[in-house]
Structures are given as C-alpha cells and as structure tokens.
C-alpha cells in the first residue's frame, strides 16, 4: 500500500528536470555557435590582412604615392595622387564629363590614372609574368619611358556603365578611347569636340608613341 504513493511522488520530480536539462543543452549550443562565428570572423579578418600585406610586398611596397588607386575613387578626388597628378586639362575634361554623366545616374570612377615610373615598371613586370613575354605584355602595358600614365595624360575609367557612357559621349568633352583592346583607357583629344575621335589602334604596340 505504501509503495504506490512513493512511486507516484518520484515521477514528477524526474519530469521537472527534463526542461532544465534541455535549456542547458540549448544554451551550450548557442554559446558554441557564437564562439565559432567570432573565431571565423577573426580568421577572415586575419586572412584579408595577410592578403593585403602580400600584395603590398609583391608590389615592392608601392602605394598611393606611386599612383596605386584605392577602391571607390572618382575623378573629383583631389587627395589621391593618381587623380591629382593628372594633366590639368585632362582632369578638367573628365570632371565636366563626370558632371554630365551624373545626370544620367552614372559615376565615373578611376581605376588608374597618373603612375610613378616605379609603379609602371612593376606593372610591366607583372604583365610579362601574366602573358608570358615582353612582346605580349606590351599590348597591355607600356614602359615607363612611353606610358601616358606616367606623364599624367591617361586615365583608366571604371566601371562598365561609365565606360559605355564615355564611349557614347566622351568625344563631346575631348575624351577618346585610344586602344580597341582597352575600352577603359581614355586620353584627351580636344579636336574631337568639334569633329570626332581619331581611329583607335588595335593595341598599344600599334601606337607610334610606344616605339620610342
């Protein structure tokens, strides 16, 4: 007779512990997940920093002072040497064009502009490594002695919507694409304002200026 009440009294106590155990397990899982995300985030940040440091090391420590362009730079950025050191007439034409492009919802970014001779030399070495020979690299990157980037007379515009806009409207501002294989490369040709841009070269190796 006494055993039945005792058995009945122990069952509720066991049942009441189950939710508590479940909560502890859930909390432990949440803590473990959060710890993993923090570790993952730290690892990603460390990897990005290492990758950036590697790029700087590969470029021989070259930076903005040599014409390296950070992301998001526009033709109106006076603090970035790649823009500020451009030929004044070219920069004026670019800014006039960019103001008009903005009315069409287009922003003209600068992927590259003025470059130091050291930076141009490094870019040429990288192109040789990528394309396998100096002759093939010369189709894309000029030497420091001949590059219009080194003299501040050329800009590589970005992004694709901006280059399309310049292709259609650039001549009205004296801005002309020079090479067929580089739809981003623009130089100032003031005669184009009244007439049109001169015929493009297939690539830089066809440009007489590159033969010096």
pLDDT in tens, 61-85: 899 999 999 999 999 999 999 999 9
Tell me the angle at which helices 88-103 and 160-169 cross, rounded to the nearest 10 degrees: 100
Q: Give the pLDDT confidence score for residue 60 in this predicted structure.
A: 62
Q: Give the pLDDT confidence score for residue 178 in this predicted structure.
A: 98
Calpha distance 176→170 (Å, rounded): 6
Q: What are phi and psi of 150, to 5 degrees?
A: -65, -35
Q: Is 105 left (phi over 0), alpha (psi -120 to 50) or beta?
A: left
pTM of the model: 0.72
Burial 38-69 (b: 16+ CB within 10 A, else e): eeeeeeeeeeeeeeeeeeeeebeebeeebbbb
Q: Give the pLDDT confidence score for residue 28 in this predicted structure.
A: 52
Q: Give the pLDDT confidence score for residue 22 in this predicted structure.
A: 52
Stretches where the chain sits below pLDDT 50 are: 1-16, 18, 20-21, 23-26, 30-58
């Amino acid at each position: 007779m006494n055993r039945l009440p005792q058995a009945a009294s122990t069952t509720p106590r066991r049942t009441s512990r189950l939710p508590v155990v479940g909560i502890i397990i859930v909390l432990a899982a949440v803590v473990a997940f959060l710890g993993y995300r923090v570790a993952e985030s730290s690892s990603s940040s460390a990897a990005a920093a290492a990758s950036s440091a590697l790029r700087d090391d590969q470029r021989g420590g070259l930076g903005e002072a040599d014409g390296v362009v950070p992301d998001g730079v526009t033709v109106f950025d006076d603090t970035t040497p790649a823009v500020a050191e451009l030929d004044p007439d070219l920069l004026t034409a670019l800014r006039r064009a960019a103001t008009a492009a903005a009315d069409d919802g287009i922003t003209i970014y600068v992927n590259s502009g003025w470059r130091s001779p050291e930076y141009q030399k490094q870019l040429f070495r990288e192109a040789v490594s990528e394309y396998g020979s100096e002759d093939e690299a010369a189709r894309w990157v000029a030497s420091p002695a001949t590059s219009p980037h080194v003299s501040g007379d050329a800009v590589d515009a970005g992004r694709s919507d901006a280059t399309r806009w310049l292709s259609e409207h650039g001549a009205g501002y004296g801005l002309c694409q020079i090479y067929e294989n580089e739809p981003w490369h623009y130089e100032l040709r003031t005669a184009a304002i009244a007439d049109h841009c001169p015929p493009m070269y297939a690539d830089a190796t066809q440009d007489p200026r590159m033969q010096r």
